[in-house]
Amino acid sequence: MPHTAPDSPTPQPLRIAVLTISDSRDFASDRSGDALRDGLEAAGHVLADRELVPDDMFDIRAVVSRWIADPEVDCILSTGGTGITGRDGTPEAIGPLLIRSIDGFGELFRHYSLEEIGPSTIQSRAFAGVANATLVFGLPGSTGACRTAWNRILKPQLDVRTRPCNFATLVPRLNDDQG
């Protein structure tokens, strides 16, 4: 279990963008995007941007490409399109943009989800990676899944005080040898 050391550094807010991928939601009905926004703001991070696009590979890729090129975005949280139905193409849209994958994120997410939804978690293709010094996380579209990912993995990993290690301290070094 990650822990916060008492002599840890001061929290460092990250600039996090949230992308909802859905053919049926708008901002008024986007509870998953709201949950991610609320979680990151409550943890002291900054909402860098927020968008909603349909389940279209090129729409998804356009927004994520713009954000990974923006030095004012440290992290991207996408929600939706990670299942296995015909319109679920978020991993295929974002995957080619990633320099490195973070395989443990999807594995750990499915482990925690197993406790909550049982073997149905096998249908999730949650993923993570790095692109142009930007952390990128692909989460399922359900509000419960977003809360699980945020509370159990992302919140502690995006906090510089989490020991023994965390993603937040790596952000300045993510571009060291990409290319």
Q: What residue numbers bound the domain in which 36 lies?
A: 9-173
Amino acid 132: pLDDT: 95
Amino acid 11: pLDDT: 78
In a domain, 127, yes or no: yes
* Cβ proximity of 109 and 124 under 8 Å: yes
pLDDT averages per 10-residue partition of the chain, 179 residues: 57 94 94 98 97 96 98 97 91 97 97 94 95 97 97 97 92 72
In a domain, 36, yes or no: yes
CATH number at residue 100: 3.40.980.10
In a domain, 178, yes or no: no
Structural domain count, the chain = 1
In a domain, 149, yes or no: yes
| Tokens representing residue 93 in the block | 């849209």
Amino acid 55: pLDDT: 94
Rounded to whole angstroms, how far apart are CA atoms 122 and 113?
9
Question: pTM for the complete prediction?
Answer: 0.93
